[in-house]
Amino acid sequence: MSDNVSPLRQPADSAGVVALTRELAGLIVAALNLEVTPGDIGPDQPLYGEGLGLDSIDILEIALVVSKQYGVQLRADSEENTRIFASLRQLAEYVNAHRTK
């Protein structure tokens, strides 16, 4: 019975997150005027600290851009922020699940 599940269901969702990941990388580079290309940001590379080297002010700027672009409300005092901003992939998955635009 599980053989009747459409094989396109999972890849279509994954493809959307992959495209969103690339889009977010571009937004991050543009918003922060980084000296890297969006392709240089690995999807699982940490955004904060040791990875991309962003600090709390950078994260706030990203949150603002994401809010404007996708309608996702990110709160500075949210306990989820550590998980959301752990990597580009985590951010993309969160935006994909919560976007209103």
Q: Could you tell me the residue ranges of all domains in the chain?
A: 8-98
Whether 91 and 24 have beta carbons less than 8 Å apart is answered as yes
All residues at 6 or more sequence positions from 74 whose CB lies less than 8 Å from its CB, including other chains: 63, 66, 67, 81, 84
Low-confidence ranges of the chain (pLDDT < 50): 1-12
Residue-level pLDDT at 50: 81
User: How many beta carbons lie within 10 A of that of residue 39, not counting itself?
Assistant: 10
Residue-level pLDDT at 15: 77
Compute CA 19 distance to the chain's CA centroid, rounded to the nearest angstrom: 10
Between CA 40 and CA 88 the distance in angstroms is 12
- CATH T-level fold of 8-98: 1.10.1200
Between CA 11 and CA 58 the distance in angstroms is 32
pTM: 0.82
Residue carrying structure tokens 């396109």: 8
